[in-house]
Amino acid sequence: MKGDVNVDVKPSSVSVQAAGEQKKKTLQKLQVQAAANSTMTHTVLGIDVKFTLKEIPAKHIDRGTMVWLGNERNQDLLDAYAISDLIPSFKEQGQQVPAFGRDISGIVEVADGSRRRFAALETMRPFYVWVGELSNEQMQYLSEIGNQYNPTSAYEKGKRYAAMLNTLTQEQVAETVKVSRKAIMRCVQTASLPIEIINCFQSPNEISARQGELFFKGYKSLSEEQQLELVDFCVNWLIPEKGTGKYDKDGLVTLISSKIFTAKPKQEQVQPRELAMGASVVVKGGNAIINIPKVSEISLNQIERAISRILEDEALNNF
């Protein structure tokens, strides 16, 4: 089932009734196994870990479980649309494959299975987890392996890479994750977009790193007011249409692009050049505006003559 796995299922107590359930649905099997406190050994990073199957009732999932904070998958982007592939099976027969996690002070921390956890919450079905004593390294490993079955998006990867870049160089991050520096920075730029833009799509995976990079370059050229207007458009117009079929992926890309790239670029603020005695000059588009506070009439006449002489000399030199 996973890359570094040896499984030896050892039910701690299996009744005749439980044995007779083998031909029934997977959900019923999990219920019986969890009730019997079934255990198994599972090799994680070369260490044998004993797991016990736990059932968390639907009403206790929200407060009784949490997702491992090191999980790359962004939980804020999980909704009914992002897990639409799981909803039908959960409604029909519940969870079919248990998650993996550990118990932290009575809270089950999930390493592998955040989408299944959300699907159980969404459908109000019990959530099943193999719970064992796991180190942070083992939790991270299970999380990364689990996400390989349904890969995380460029946005989610970018969040992880950006966090790594706080302590590592681009070269070190590239070596660690086995991805090119260019691909890493595309993901980081995608992750710099407002989450509201990402949330317009059925799944964050619908925005590639290349498209995210293009969006980001256009987004950062907008004024603060224009950026807020774009976010407002996403929140009030696009996200409410999610799941209605009104916009497909390409339609959303086109619509968001039109909002980003047809907006008038923000004007760069020009900083004044400081002169003597509090005077300053602002140069913009080849035009200069001089500000001289509390200037006397004598000084003003001298400045005017000096400017006239300089401009006349420049005109003669360029003739």
For domain 153-267, give its CATH number from 1.10.10.2830, 3.90.1150.180, 1.20.1300.10, 3.40.50.1000: 1.10.10.2830
Q: What is the pLDDT along the chain (319 residues), one digit of tens a residue?
A: 344 444 444 444 434 343 334 434 556 788 889 888 899 999 999 999 999 999 999 999 999 999 999 999 999 999 999 999 999 999 998 999 999 999 999 999 999 999 999 999 999 999 999 999 999 999 999 999 999 888 999 999 999 999 999 999 999 999 999 999 999 999 999 999 999 999 999 999 999 999 999 999 999 999 999 999 999 999 999 999 998 889 999 999 999 999 999 866 555 666 777 877 777 877 776 787 888 787 788 887 888 888 887 777 776 565 4
Which two structure tokens, joined as six digits, stand for 271? 């900083």
Eight-state DSSP code of residue 271: P
Q: What is the pLDDT of residue 280?
A: 80
Q: Look up residue 197 and give its amino acid.
A: I
Identify the sign of the CA torsion 67, 70, 73, 74. Answer: positive
Distance CA 266, CA 228 (A): 13
For the chain, which residues make up each domain, given as ranges? 1-151, 153-267, 273-317
Q: What is the pLDDT of residue 130?
A: 97
Q: What is the pLDDT of residue 91?
A: 93
Which two structure tokens, joined as six digits, stand for 312? 């006349």
pTM, two decimals, is: 0.70
Burial class from Cβ neighbours inside 10 Å (0-12, 13-18, 19+) for residue 232 reads exposed
Q: What is the pLDDT of residue 269?
A: 67
Q: What is the pLDDT of residue 176?
A: 94
Cβ atoms of 40 and 130 closer than 8 Å: yes
Which of 94, 113, 105, 197 is closest to 155 using CA atoms? 197
Eight-state DSSP code of residue 278: G
Q: What is the pLDDT of residue 46?
A: 95
Q: What is the pLDDT of residue 166?
A: 95
190 CB contacts (<8 Å, ≥6 apart)? Answer: 154, 155, 158, 207, 209, 211, 212, 213, 215, 216
Distance CA 95, CA 54 (A): 13
3-state secondary structure of 9: strand
**Four-point Cα dihedral 205, 162, 147, 176, nearest 10:** 130
